[in-house]
A and B are shown apart, each in its own frame.
Chain A
Amino acid sequence: MGRFILKRIGQTLIVLFIVSVFIFLLVSFLPGDPVYAMLGGEITQETYDRWYLELGLDKPLILRYLSWISKAVTGDFGMSASQHKEVVAVLAERVPVTIYLSLLSFFISIPLGILFGIISAVNRGKLLDSVLTTFANVCCCLPQFFLSVLFLYLFSIKLHLLPSFGFVWPWEDLQKSLLQTIMPLLCLTIGGIASICRQTRSSMLEVIGQDYIRTAKSKGLAQNRIIFVHAMKNALIPVITLMGLRLGGLIGGSMFVESVFNIPGMGTLLVMAIQAQDIPLIQACVLLIAVVACVVNIITDIVYAAVDPRIKV
């Protein structure tokens, strides 16, 4: 097991290296002069020269990459021009919000998704199944931003039930925080429930057709025992992959909900950084999101190996 984890970490480091090169190169493709892009056109030649050297634009690409990555590893991404702050400080403010919402949504969507998926598979072909699958299929297709706008319209504008925007931590003001998180959380969670439900259902159906389920039936086991002991453990293994993808995707995909409900998270930050062409901030955000996705990936693989006795590590 130890060897397996080490090997996965090694592979991930290679992947992250490629990602970092890619992120770095991306910026050098930006149209226009990076100094003007950063500070605007109206600067003196003197300021220009100072920044030119500061950014290391006189050195070859590979040296610039090395100096950037060596700083990045220590958490130093430089100054954010649009925020007038250290990039790290900006991130420290924003990232926890996104992670908080993502994890909440993640832990709500998993049990519900699996539950609905199993109910749907067991009742295959009956009315309940049709209702659940139709619902899941529709929810998978609803874009998050549309869902957010729809909820905003229904619950805030029409019904005046929930505040339309903002974010406070629960320890600052519990009631306000709860009311403010309901809608964003709902928007983040519905898609997850739907996709986990679909995956669970199809992998459950696949398992139910297997020979070993027939064996279990030939032993005269009760239906519930067959489903929850013999089928579920097998069926959930592919769902683990999906869960990993969801978690990685949640953190990188929160910008829609955040921007509709005006939540100061990483999603809105990235959008802002892109609109302001704030290079260090873009680099830091994308790299951070990739790192999170990779870590989640490793965890997924380890869980996978631990759960499935067929995988020898």
Chain B
Amino acid sequence: MKHLLEVNGIHTCFMMDGKKVRAVDGVSFHLDRGEIVGVVGESGSGKSVTMMSVLQLVGAPGFVESGTVYLDGEEKNLLEYDGNSEKMRSVRGGRIGMIFQEPMTSLNPVLTIGYQIQENIMKHLDMDRQQAKERTIEMLRMVKIPDAEQRFDYYPQQFSGGMRQRIMIAMAMSAKPDILIADEATTALDVTTQAQLLEMIRSIAKETNTAVILVTHNLGIVARFAERIYVMYSGSVVETAGTRDIFKHSEHPYTRSLLRAIPRLDDPRDRILIPIEGLPPNPALRPDYCPFYDRCEYRKPECAKRNKPELEKVGEEHYSACWLTREELRQKEIEIQNTPRKAAPQKNIGSEKVLEVKNVRKYFPVLKGIMKRKIGEVKAIEEITFDLHKGETMGIVGESGCGKTTMARCIMRVYRPEEGEIKFSGVDIAQMKDKELQPYRSRIAMIFQDPFSSLDPRQTAGSIVAESLLINKSCKTKEELNRRVDELFTLVGLDPGLKDRVPHEFSGGQRQRLGIARALSSDPDVIICDEPISALDVSIQAQIINLLEELQAKLGVSYLFIAHDLAVVKHISDRVLVMYLGRVVEIADAQQLYANPMHPYTEALLAAVPEADPDVEEGKAAVPISGEVPSILNRPQGCPFHDRCSKASERCRKEVPKLMDKGDGHMVACFLYQ
């Protein structure tokens, strides 16, 4: 055997309503010692299930139907052993360690973290309790848990998400495994934490010559960290090659389409995203032919008449599963390049300001005791100042806890700010009472992050969209109302015939369209988009981004676009506002901010974002930021960023820098520029 791990033809099924549904449909891959391999795919592509199948962790109603798993040093196919056999248990944890997606729930809440790591060491390494404890502390130090010795007896809930994921890494690596599988291990974390952790996994892996499998949906992560990549779609590997080949010379239509659909940090201003139309097939209804056929731009009618394509060699270490020959692909590519695309929607930014926010503060009281005595305040946001022009998009970025959502809610007047002005077309609504606010409610709307929780499950799609029309009595007759609802449906690309369905009958992307239609229904001047695409799959994201851009061009509405994905923010925004711990640290033109970030935090943030381009990634240095975003409850004195900033001076520890204009409307709050 020449590889460390060889997996062949894994088929994994789930029993759903008495039918066999194949989640993994014949996946093969291999891994060498010390190598970092990426497995990318959208949700439901079967990437996680494949890994669970290798370790026999798939629980009822799922089971591995067939396939072989050979691990270097083991005689037999691992799948021949029972899932609970001594052999499999020594492989799991001992030779293959695994880290899961959810840091908040992956550690047992009633056992100390020390115990949980120690247990793993004692199971797989021949150590007694004391030795295992020493190794545990050593591992905790390795993943940079401060005061490792004391923290041994802490419970998981005493750590932040990032810390918990470090503990998971320590645990997975504690038994000196040959392979580490990181299943979306950093997806739930902030960008800077994510970068630090992946950086750490890489350096530990290289030091110990451990092979790593990075399972993720994020093309940027694999571009930065992986050496070889498997692209999965609907339960199959569709393409595999070295990282550079995947990004620079991708062969499979899916990979190519995917790369055209994602925004990148170095995009020119007018780049158009080309979404992949439609949805991945439901595994239960997957056709016998190529699963990507229905969405493929390159397809030929013959594709539908043949079986599912197998991986074929198309280059050095480069395999692709497509029936089309390279020549056919090349011709089709030219055709696609030449089809006229819709030009980037024309923006019309007016000079009038629709929204002026000045010096807004929002504190939350900390209450205690039966009498609900106020014992302190959480300073959620402070001194927020910015303005928004008609037809403009202002992107708002920052990590979790930076106050983006609080700010949005202040502007929506869900909260009443303690201080400051929120001028809406010149009228200050900051302190208005509910009644006075009524006329302004319809002029400012919101699109929510989660398309599953933001639509009332008991209302039909039609009545969700019609609601504000009814409340504002903007339609005189029933016919007019119906017509207007139909209009809104068509505007966001939904069939008005779906009006009578309830939200759960729609897909995620469709639901988000419904949310947009609802926001548009009152004909608002400003729409606050609170992470509107972060819950969607990559191929769907582009559809929604394009829709938002088109609508803006058509209706002249202004957006406040809140997101943590910096590439998306840059793509859609005219100006970008960066927040850190409740304060604005920088506001600038989108292009300028990315080309010339001034605040050290912005700089660090931009460096931390992995980009789907190995060339760009190679040129990047390691993340210049340490630590995690502190809790808003113990915000440091002075500049909120000073304790993570490499350029902090004595002054930064004492004074809070004010936001200052450095020319061209580039505002920054940092003493380096004063």
Decide if A and B are genuine partners.
Answer: yes
Question: In the assembled complex, how far is the CB of residue B183 from the closest CB belonging to chain A, in whole angstroms?
Answer: 10
B102 within 8 A of A: yes
Once the chains are docked, how many angstroms separate the CA of A283 from the CA of B106?
52
Chain B contact residue count (CB 8 A cutoff):
31
* Given A210-B105, A212-B105, A234-B110, also A219-B157 (CB < 8 A): no
Q: Which of A188-237 contact B (CB under 8 A)?
A: 210-212, 214-223, 225, 229-230, 233-234, 237
* Given A10-B370, A214-B100, A310-B157, also A221-B108 (CB < 8 A): no
Question: In the assembled complex, how far is the CB of residue A220 from the closest CB belonging to chain B, in whole angstroms?
Answer: 4
Contact of A218 among B90, B98, B157 (CB under 8 A): B98
Q: Which residue of B lies closest to A311 (CB)?
A: B157
Q: Are A234 and B108 in contact (CB under 8 A)?
A: yes
A93 within 8 A of B: no
Chain A contact residue count (CB 8 A cutoff):
27
Q: Could you mark each residue 74-106 of chain B with 1 if its beta carbon is under 8 Å from any beta carbon of chain A, else 0?
A: 000000000010001111111001101010011
Question: In the assembled complex, how far is the CB of residue A58 from the closest CB belonging to chain B, in whole angstroms?
Answer: 38
Question: In the assembled complex, how far is the CB of residue A177 from the closest CB belonging to chain B, in whole angstroms?
Answer: 41
Question: In the assembled complex, how far is the CB of residue A306 from the closest CB belonging to chain B, in whole angstroms?
Answer: 12
Q: Are A230 and B111 in contact (CB under 8 A)?
A: yes
B553 within 8 A of A: no
* Given A211-B105, A215-B106, also A233-B111 (CB < 8 A): yes
A-B contact count (CB 8 A): 75
B109 within 8 A of A: yes
A160 within 8 A of B: no
Question: In the assembled complex, how far is the CB of residue B95 from the closest CB belonging to chain A, in whole angstroms?
Answer: 9
B311 within 8 A of A: no
Question: In the assembled complex, how far is the CB of residue B132 from the closest CB belonging to chain A, in whole angstroms?
Answer: 13
Q: Are A214 and B57 in contact (CB under 8 A)?
A: yes
* Chain B neighbourhood of A215, CB < 8 A: 100, 106-108, 168, 171
* Chain A neighbourhood of B107, CB < 8 A: 212, 215
Q: Are B100 and A211 in contact (CB under 8 A)?
A: yes
* Chain B neighbourhood of A222, CB < 8 A: 84, 89
Once the chains are docked, how many angstroms separate the CA of A229 from the CA of B115?
11
Q: Which residue of B lies closest to A233 (CB)?
A: B110
B658 within 8 A of A: no
Q: Are B108 and A220 in contact (CB under 8 A)?
A: no
* Chain B neighbourhood of A229, CB < 8 A: 111
Once the chains are docked, how many angstroms separate the CA of A190 from the CA of B110?
31
Q: Are B111 and A219 in contact (CB under 8 A)?
A: no
Once the chains are docked, how many angstroms separate the CA of A65 from the CA of B157?
49
Q: Which residue of B lies closest to A222 (CB)?
A: B89
Contact of A230 among B57, B98, B102, B108 (CB under 8 A): B108
* Chain A neighbourhood of B91, CB < 8 A: 220
* Chain A neighbourhood of B227, CB < 8 A: none
B55 within 8 A of A: yes
Q: Are A219 and B119 in contact (CB under 8 A)?
A: yes
Once the chains are docked, how many angstroms separate the CA of A100 from the CA of B89?
48
A85 within 8 A of B: no
Q: Are A220 and B155 in contact (CB under 8 A)?
A: no
Question: In the assembled complex, how far is the CB of residue B355 from the closest CB belonging to chain A, in whole angstroms?
Answer: 41
Candidate in A210, A219, A225 with the most chain B CB atoms within 10 angstroms: A219
Once the chains are docked, how many angstroms separate the CA of A217 from the CA of B83?
10
Once the chains are docked, how many angstroms separate the CA of A212 from the CA of B91?
19
* Chain A neighbourhood of B111, CB < 8 A: 229-230, 233
A32 within 8 A of B: no
Q: Which residue of A lies closest to B89 (CB)?
A: A220
Q: Are B57 and A218 in contact (CB under 8 A)?
A: yes
A49 within 8 A of B: no
* Chain B neighbourhood of A217, CB < 8 A: 57, 92
Question: In the assembled complex, how far is the CB of residue A6 from the closest CB belonging to chain B, in whole angstroms?
Answer: 10
* Given A212-B108, A215-B108, A216-B108, also A221-B123 (CB < 8 A): yes
B124 within 8 A of A: yes
* Chain B neighbourhood of A225, CB < 8 A: 119
Q: Are B84 and A223 in contact (CB under 8 A)?
A: yes
Once the chains are docked, how many angstroms separate the CA of A221 from the CA of B105?
18
Q: Which residue of A lies closest to B94 (CB)?
A: A220
A71 within 8 A of B: no
* Chain A neighbourhood of B93, CB < 8 A: 218-221
Q: Are B92 and A219 in contact (CB under 8 A)?
A: yes
B546 within 8 A of A: no
Q: Are A212 and B106 in contact (CB under 8 A)?
A: yes
Q: Are A7 and B370 in contact (CB under 8 A)?
A: yes
* Given A7-B370, A234-B108, A309-B155, also A220-B171 (CB < 8 A): no
Once the chains are docked, how many angstroms separate the CA of A311 from the CA of B102?
21
Q: Are A212 and B119 in contact (CB under 8 A)?
A: no
Q: Which residue of B lies closest to A215 (CB)?
A: B106
* Chain A neighbourhood of B157, CB < 8 A: 309-310
B510 within 8 A of A: no
B120 within 8 A of A: yes
* Chain B neighbourhood of A237, CB < 8 A: 110
* Chain A neighbourhood of B98, CB < 8 A: 218
Give 20 new A-B contacts, CB below 8 A, not counting A220-B89, A230-B108.
A210-B105, A211-B102, A212-B105, A214-B57, A214-B100, A215-B106, A217-B57, A217-B92, A218-B97, A218-B98, A218-B100, A219-B123, A219-B171, A220-B88, A220-B92, A220-B94, A220-B123, A221-B123, A225-B119, A234-B109
By a beta-carbon cutoff of 8 Å, the part of chain A in contact with chain B is: 7, 10-11, 125, 210-212, 214-223, 225, 229-230, 233-234, 237, 307-310
Could you list 28 A-B pairs, sorted by A, with CB under 8 Å? Answer: A7-B370, A11-B370, A125-B60, A210-B105, A212-B107, A214-B100, A215-B100, A215-B106, A218-B93, A218-B97, A218-B100, A219-B93, A219-B120, A219-B123, A220-B89, A220-B123, A220-B124, A221-B123, A222-B84, A225-B119, A230-B108, A230-B111, A233-B110, A234-B109, A234-B110, A308-B110, A309-B155, A310-B155
